[in-house]
Amino acid sequence: MARITELLARGRTFSFEFFPPKTDAAQLSLGRTIAELETLHPSFVSVTYGAGGSTRERTRDLVTWMRRETTISPMAHLTCVGHTRGDIEEILQAYVDAGVENILALGGDPPTDPADVRPSDYRFASDLVHELQAAGQFSIGVAAHPEVHPRSSSRTEDREFLAQKLRLADFAITQFFFEAEHYVRLVEELAALGIDKPIIPGIMPVTNKSQVQRMAEMSGAAFPQDLAERLAKVDDPEDVRRIGVEAATELCAQLLDAGAPGLHFYTLNRSSATREIYANLGLPVVSSAT
């Protein structure tokens, strides 16, 4: 088990994100994915958290299972929306008891249905970062938004609040984006505010046209015209995947050239695109599973 802060101090990290499965079949499929990706020896993996606590037990169970049963260091995502101080204390105690030391502190998104709104003692991710810092045991990550968070009123405000968060936290992982210049600009803007903590770019390989375009719209990530045109010319899902993997490989290579301290892959609980990108980049691949 390793603290991400220490892994980053030693060198580049390569990491994967999973979400907690909802059904037994999805659980089995994720088990296979984890077994396949474990052979790539990721530096760490992270597990998402349903805002408002909708995956509270499932996130905790997956993170603590990985801590116990695999060789991979897990990081638990945690959001402030819908949580009281008591809730957060309880969740953090469970992680301390299980030996989990890495937490990604997030704002989370407010529920769309007013019936799901629950009282919250926290408003912004930085409130949660304060709590984690006071606990003293955790390596703390936060989210960064290269193309500016959709709720930020300006780029300047976005960067100032992010810098405030990063003065306390240890590192950031970015929202996905498709052009390296967004990442480079983010790092430069943070440097101008005196922040030199590691900013790990988040990578989302296109494996399915409609899904990525929808997610890009939700996250505010601009979809590049040339990639859209290449994808528009193909219909076969295998061709879409191939183009997506090529584009993601190119993006990763540019980010590594630009000095990124690591790469974090949004896997959507599947292994094959990530394994292909790993192979294309010349990173070690041991598994031949599909």
Please identify, using beta-carbon distances, which residue of 101 and 158 lies nearer to ligand FAD.
158
Q: How far is the CB of 191 from ligand FAD (least distance, A)?
A: 18
Q: Which parts of this chain interact with ligand FAD (CB under 6 A)?
A: 48-49, 51, 77, 79, 106-109, 124-126, 143, 149, 151-152, 157-158, 161, 165, 173-175, 202
CB closer to ligand FAD, 15 vs 207:
15
Angle between helices 155-168 and 125-135 (to 10 degrees): 10
Q: Among the options 6, 17, 131, 160, which is catalytic?
A: 17
Is 17 part of the annotated catalytic residue set? yes
Q: Which CB, 206 or 231, lies closer to ligand FAD?
A: 206
Q: What is the DSSP letter of 114?
A: G
Q: Residue 86 burial (CB < 10 Å; 0-12/13-18/19+)?
A: exposed
Residue 49: CB minimum distance to ligand FAD, A? 4
User: Do the Cβ atoms of 231 and 237 come closer than 8 Å?
Assistant: no
Name the closest residue to ligand FAD (Cβ).
107
What's the closest the beta carbon of residue 112 comes to ligand FAD, in angstroms? Answer: 12
Q: How far is the CB of 286 from ligand FAD (least distance, A)?
A: 27
CA distance 41 to 38: 5
Cβ proximity to ligand FAD: between 125 and 216 the closer is: 125
Which residues, listed in sequence order, are joined to residue 265 by a DSSP beta bridge? 16, 203
The answer to whether 44 touches 74, Cβ cutoff 8 Å, is yes
> What is the C-alpha separation between 80 and 146, in angstroms, rounded?
21
Distance CA 60, CA 20 (A): 9
Catalytic residues: 17
